[in-house]
Amino acid sequence: MNKGFQDFEDKLLINIKNSESPFLGLFENQISSKMRQNIISFIQKQYDPFDKFIDLLDDYPAVFSTLLVVQLLEDFGKHGHFEVYPFFEKIFDQTLTQHQKEVLWQAFRIACMYHLGISVSPRRSGPHYMVREYLRQVGLPLRYVDQFTVKALRYVDKTGIPDLDDPELLKLWQEGLVDRLTPLTVKEAIQRDDICYHSQLFISCLQGGKNSLRGKSRLEAAILKAIEAGPKIRKAKQAGIPRVILRESEYGILLPGSKEPVQWEIITGDETRKFTSRNDDRFLSFEMSLPPDAVVINDEGFRCSYSLWENQKNNRLLIFSMPDGRFVTGSSLAEKEVFLDPGNYLFLTRFSPENEEEYELFSDNPEVYSQRVSLAPGETYVFQRGPAKLQIKAEEKPALYFTQEPLRGVRGNELYPADNLKLDIIIPKEMLMSDEKFVVRVTSNTLGEEIVLPFPAQENNQFVLNIGKLMEQYWVPGVSRVLFAVYREDIKRALVRKSAVIWSGLPQMKNRARFACTQLPANLVQDDCENLQVDLDTNSITFSDETNRFFKMAFKDGVRTLYFTWAVPGVFLSLKDYGRADHAEKGLKLGETISINTSSRKVLTVFASEPCLLKIGQYETQVDFSRVGSKRIPLSGMVDYLEPGHDTLLLYSEKYPSALPLLRFVSPFEAKSYSTESGIELRKIELSIRSPIQSLRFSIKNLIDNISYEINVDLKQIGQTYRHEILPDIYATFFKVDENECTIHYPETGWPSGLWLTSFIIKAENRWGALADSNGAVFADGLLSTPSQIGQSFEDLWWWFSNNHDPDTYAQIFSRLDEALRIKYALGCWKNLSWLESFWIKLGKKISYDARTEDCLKLLSLVGDRNSITEEGDAIPKLHPGTAVPAIFCQGKNVYPEKRLTVSSFHSCLRFMPKFNNPCHAFSHRYLDVAALFGFQNAMAVVQTECAPQKFTTSAYMESLSARDLPEKWRYLNDDQWIPAKGDILGPMHYRYAVDRFQGEFSNAMAMGSERLGHALALSKQMKNVSISNLAGGGAISRLDTDSDPVMLFNRFHPQPEWLDDEAAVAIENQKNIIRFISLFAQVCRWESREAGIMDNFKEKAIKTCSLPANAINKYLGYLLYLSEDLFCFYLLLWELVFSVDCDQPRRRYV
């Protein structure tokens, strides 16, 4: 019998070692039913069947380990899930004692691990740990393969197919699949598969197709047949699974990148937010301090959920793996023990651990603490709080660690520079034998062939792999996801797998804006990159245009493309308001004022490239921007840090000699009452709020000379009067009527001449905030003052101003007035502020009449700038500087600066107008998209002979735009930070961007509704049949193709569905009318620079057609400009190019 055992042992051992299957249950066909009965009969005849079996298990581990599992499989799943010993006892024909169970478990574990190379359960304690060992080896029984495969097919149809070289994503994918599996036997089998073998096999079969079943394992053949017979997948796509991620001092959802837009909903508690996927990953922090859970749903039916802070109890914690910040699980002190893979972790706890040196304060309201812990295989870490104790146990399995922190793009995705990067490989001592050898296999889809590197087990069970040297020696330089897998030398099954995106050929980064490579990456896809410059001489990659805030790299890695976005040097700010329907994100100027409150849904992102300290009041945080690129700050939490003198977010860096002011914050209190009255040359203001008033800050500013004064009044006692000097020799009294109300008295005469604007900042509830109405509109006060020898009316003030001030100051004064008017004021205070609008209009006329170039350029910077001081940050201002001084759009093309005046997309595009001085140079140096060139009749001649283009036709331009409109580039429109840049101007992406921005603003305006919107729509509708040829005096313009309907282009790019309801049809028609109107106004502006008077003709035509006064026309025109600034800029550039070529350039005759 022993000879027969040995022959069978040798054969079975070879089969097991040469198989990739990690479970003995998949070898059940190796032992026939007859053979099994014969072996059992042989054992039962022995004097002590159990002891004999243990001896045989040691001598013939393959045969008798497999026998145990085959015996278990016979009736597996028919009774209790943890009922295994009744099946084993049939072998011994006796009941096993607890001691025998432990002996059997130990012998079985040693046989699997040492002799067969089969992975064993990583747990050696805890509930059912011995039973789990046997159940693990069962794997997925063949009779359940159909049920598993059908569920997996339906799941993959919604989630997509995960990459097999990304173990972390594969594990996340499998966790979602487990939640959907039935019956319990299948669910538990896949759940125990911690190396995702069944999932890998399913995906390999799905991607490889049926072909031939020859040479396939029984499990593979069963899966292939089930796939063939199962539900069909609608569309194979790469898996994108949202995950909870910890990023520095915040945590949230990382939405996966996608080639095509995917709509997502994120539900946390009672809050729902909607987003569109981007082509690279996108991190969205939680707005709630302690979100109970997070549910993420997309428009294709996929749904995943994460349980976070299940309740508000202070015994809970969240566990994140580091350095990737991936959420692992939640737990509490009540659970006693938690099992984790060995690795590095960060714990967020609602309680302060007893060892104070080991934790940091993560959040002070509510109190959350963070603690970093490193767990080696088999190691235990204990959290204790009084008598409550939680043991964190690392499972006994191999572990891989990267020795450096990754670089993080501004979108949240990460990569490692290969230079000096090392991988620590740790093997559990239990798995080591004196003669055991291991290999690590390193693979990439792109950079080179698989690298196989043997390594001996060290005494300290640790091996260090120098990744940088290895990749430099064997692979071409590039960026790729690299998979590391550790094997026993003579066995095909991987013990552990780990992957990361690595840049081979990139040394450690010292400057995020310049990537100095030892060799340039071979897989850089420059056509998909944005704002990128590659220097072949220095092997460096950087940005090409410093006026763009970001630059993006794209690397082809097998079938996928990896995207990374970086910030250019400097400090940039963006604000996303989740209170808006479209969650629009906009750039901010440094020093701008932002209104916030405790319920604000605004999130500020700071982009920089140097390590910095951010500070406001008692809040401060150190950010290594050289590594992470950006920092997101939910602004609702900033309210508690506001106080007089400490209301500005400051940035400290070695790069700047003093603190750099980023943003000033104001936080409003809703007024319970507000009133003003004047009498006997005295102004009286009464105000109250719903909370006790502690202090009041009284600020005044002269908008003419920009002089300002400010005082703080402590209102401590009810009934007490306080007298303060508010400016030299002018005093005000403050009286606290009751806890919530106060009055202010100050003289209306004796003030220095000027336009005085007064604002109030109140301290209550231990914070400072502006005074506002229920809609967030601000309360303020105003005063006109003229020299005492003249009258005090508005007309007197204007006479005094126009006769006593240098015209060189007009533009600065207009800018201050415009800034003041961008604030939305409460109706209750407007009677004392209406002069702001009147003065703005009169001063605008005066500037427009003189039309000095330097003034126009100063005022041009006001375009694209919308203040956010009120909570209605998306409210459209009443007045637009371009209607008061339209000359800002009518200057010669040489006048406009090539460096953008603000961070707005309007100025980013307008700066290309000077390039039209030499259109041929603009095309040959790719400042403009080539689509614009082929709108001219002699485009090919321009390309071949560099002659001047001529004869533009709208139809040819439309055809050229359509031909260049590549769907694979549409994904850029889903990127909040993307704006048209060099090479995009007047191309299909520029047009799509401008129209998309316009449609977004139009939708918001429709949702808000207003009387101005109705009048503006009426203006555009009544002017839809007016063309520039009706307004100009004939001549050169009559020879141009300027009267073609711009809506033809809109229809080409935005075809309408066959059926629209009435409301949608009206909305589309209104959009078309606005597009016609904006294109016409752009033509008028650019022709005005050549033939003065057409602007007057345009306004006279609008007044006559619409039967409206001039001031009303300006208001409604300004409203339309706010809706369509980017579209207006597109047409300014288009018509300037046409006029420059077909009117300004000398004519040539072509034969």
Q: Tell me: the pLDDT tens digits for 533-559?
A: 999 989 999 988 777 778 889 999 998
Residue 823 placed within a domain: yes
Task: For residue range 156-211, list pLDDT tens digits in order.
Answer: 888 888 989 999 989 999 999 999 998 888 998 898 888 898 999 999 898 876 65
Residues 576 and 510 in one domain: no
Band of pLDDT at residue 1061, cut at 50, 70 and 90: confident
Residues 917 and 1064 in one domain: yes
Residues 994 and 1132 in one domain: yes
For the residues 809-824, what does the mean pLDDT come to? 91
Residue 866 placed within a domain: no
Q: What pLDDT score does 873 carry?
A: 47
Residues 79 and 195 in one domain: no
Q: What pLDDT score does 1150 carry?
A: 31
CATH of the domain at 743: 2.60.40.10
The 3-state DSSP class for residue 298 equals: strand
Query: What type of residue is 652?
Result: Y
- Dist. CA 687–CA 673, nearest whole Å: 5
Position with higher pLDDT, 1047 vs 971: 1047
The CA dihedral of 705, 820, 711, 800, to the nearest 10 degrees, is 30
Residues 989 and 1072 in one domain: yes
The 3-state DSSP class for residue 256 equals: coil
Percent of the chain whose pLDDT exceeds 90: 33
Residue 875 placed within a domain: no
For the residues 1060-1071, what does the mean pLDDT come to? 86
Count up the domains in the chain and report the number: 7
For the residues 85-99, what does the mean pLDDT come to? 89
Position with higher pLDDT, 630 vs 919: 919
Is the pLDDT reported for residue 324 higher than 70?
yes
Those residues with Cβ within 8 angstroms of residue 657's Cβ, 6 or more apart along the chain or in another chain: none
Q: What pLDDT score does 212 carry?
A: 54
Residues 956 and 1037 in one domain: yes
For the residues 1000-1015, what does the mean pLDDT come to? 83
Residues 98 and 16 in one domain: yes
For the residues 115-123, what does the mean pLDDT come to? 80
Q: What pLDDT score does 362 carry?
A: 82
Arithmetic mean of pLDDT over the chain: 85
Band of pLDDT at residue 706, cut at 50, 70 and 90: very high
CA geometry: angle at 287 spanning 282 and 292, to 5°? 105
Q: What pLDDT score does 157 carry?
A: 87
Residues 332 and 381 in one domain: yes
- Dist. CA 1036–CA 1046, nearest whole Å: 21
For the residues 422-431, what does the mean pLDDT come to? 86
Could you say which of 190, 207, 229 is where a domain stops? 229
Q: What pLDDT score does 1147 carry?
A: 44
Q: What pLDDT score does 1149 carry?
A: 35
DSSP 8-class letter at 288: S
Those residues with Cβ within 8 angstroms of residue 1006's Cβ, 6 or more apart along the chain or in another chain: 1013, 1067
Residues 98 and 160 in one domain: no
Could you say which of 394, 428, 452 is where a domain stops? 394
Residue 995 placed within a domain: yes
Q: What pLDDT score does 192 carry?
A: 86
Is the pLDDT reported for residue 991 higher than 90?
yes
For the residues 595-605, what does the mean pLDDT come to? 79
* Domain around 383: 243-394
Residue 1149 placed within a domain: no
Task: For residue range 369-384, list pLDDT tens digits in order.
Answer: 889 999 988 889 998 8
Task: For residue range 750-779, list pLDDT tens digits in order.
Answer: 899 999 999 988 888 877 888 999 888 899
- Dist. CA 225–CA 213, nearest whole Å: 9
| Cβ neighbours around 382 below 10 Å, total | 12
Q: What pLDDT score does 1142 carry?
A: 86
Residues 999 and 1131 in one domain: yes
Residue 54 placed within a domain: yes
Residue appearing with tokens 């069970």: 461
Q: Are the C-beta atoms of residues 1021 and 930 closer than 8 Å to each other?
A: no
Q: Are the C-beta atoms of residues 699 and 692 closer than 8 Å to each other?
A: no
Residue 552 placed within a domain: yes
Band of pLDDT at residue 25, cut at 50, 70 and 90: confident
- pTM, two decimals, is 0.73
Task: For residue range 640-666, list pLDDT tens digits in order.
Answer: 787 767 888 999 988 888 889 998 887
Band of pLDDT at residue 1038, cut at 50, 70 and 90: low
Residues 196 and 174 in one domain: yes
Task: For residue range 470-501, list pLDDT tens digits in order.
Answer: 998 999 999 999 999 998 888 888 889 999 99
Q: Are the C-beta atoms of residues 1057 and 999 closer than 8 Å to each other?
A: no
**Closest C-alpha to 143, from 213, 77, 193:** 77
Could you say which of 352, 375, 394 is where a domain stops? 394
Give the lowest-confidence range in 372-376, 575-579, 855-859.
575-579
Is the pLDDT reported for residue 583 higher than 70?
no
Pairing outcome for strands 293-298 and 263-268: antiparallel
What phi-psi label fits residue 680: left (phi over 0), alpha (psi between -120 and 50 degrees) or beta? Answer: left
The 3-state DSSP class for residue 814 equals: helix
Compute φ and ψ for 634, nearest 5 degrees: -65, 125
Residues 622 and 769 in one domain: no
Residue 878 placed within a domain: no
How far from 492 is each of 16, 157, 273, 667, CA to CA, in Å?
9, 31, 46, 63
